[in-house]
């Protein structure tokens, strides 16, 4: 891919990116989460982005949006900065794992028989992503004196199930919406492949 095509997105890709950006604005900015608890959409958003938008600039754009939302939320909206440490940089590989897993999933045939393999891929990617984000925070965040592997293991048991359930829930919503859209407009499959 040459440099000029790296920034050329199809209308379909722009639409998908716009939907994911809107979901991120609603959920990550605490616009809705202060009223009702909504599980995080971040991991699933990057997985879905990888599935539909394979250009690296799409990943960079969604990550930049998430970062901007966090900065505004902390600096202007009174959200706690407890998690905003030097370890925040570990979100780059954490989200990249999800995006790359989505890209890999996009190579699988779009049929019901592929769902179990995609689900396994999603679980493995979510675990790897969790190790980057939670492990990065624990070992590099400076919030825990003398972090150890033994001290980190209970954090996996405590926080990974929540990450996994969010990832599966929101990815499942995306799969269901995509199936409905394909049923209503089969031509979308061709538009996506352009």
Its domain, for residue 33, covers 5-193
Within the chain, residue ranges assigned H as helices are: 11-28, 42-52, 56-76, 91-105, 115-140, 149-184, 187-193
**How many separate domains does the chain show?**
1
Lowest mean pLDDT among 32-46, 66-80, 128-142: 32-46
**For all residues of the chain together, what is the average pLDDT?**
87
Question: Model-level pTM greater than 0.85?
Answer: yes
Q: Are 65 and 78 in contact (CB under 8 A)?
A: no
Average pLDDT value for residue range 67-82: 80
Contacts of 60 (CB under 8 A, 6+ apart): none
pLDDT digits (tens, 9 = 90+) for 116-142: 999 999 999 999 999 999 999 999 988
**Confidence band of 163 (pLDDT split at 50, 70, 90):** very high
Evaluate if residue 30 carries a pLDDT over 90.
Answer: no
Pick from 22, 46, 144: which is nearest to 87 by CA?
144
Count how many Cα atoms sit within 13 Å of the Cα of residue 56 in the half-sphere of its side chain: 7
DSSP 42: H
């Amino acid at each position: 891919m040459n440099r000029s095509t790296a920034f050329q997105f199809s209308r379909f890709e722009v639409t998908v990116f716009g939907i994911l950006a809107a979901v991120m604005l609603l959920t990550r900015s605490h616009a809705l989460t202060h009223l009702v608890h909504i599980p995080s959409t971040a991991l699933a958003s990057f997985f879905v982005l990888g599935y539909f938008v394979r250009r690296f600039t799409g990943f960079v754009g969604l990550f930049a949006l998430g970062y901007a939302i966090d900065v505004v939320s902390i600096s202007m909206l009174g959200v706690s900065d407890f998690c905003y440490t030097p370890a925040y940089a570990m979100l780059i590989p954490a989200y990249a794992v999800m995006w790359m897993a989505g890209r890999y999933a996009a190579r699988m045939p779009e049929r019901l028989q592929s769902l179990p393999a995609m689900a396994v891929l999603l679980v493995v990617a979510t675990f790897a992503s969790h190790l980057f984000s939670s492990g990065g925070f624990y070992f590099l965040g400076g919030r825990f004196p003398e972090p150890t592997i033994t001290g980190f293991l209970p954090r996996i048991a405590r926080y990974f199930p929540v990450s996994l359930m969010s990832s599966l829930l929101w990815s499942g919503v995306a799969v269901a919406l995509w199936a409905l859209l394909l049923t209503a407009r089969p031509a979308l499959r061709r538009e996506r492949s352009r």
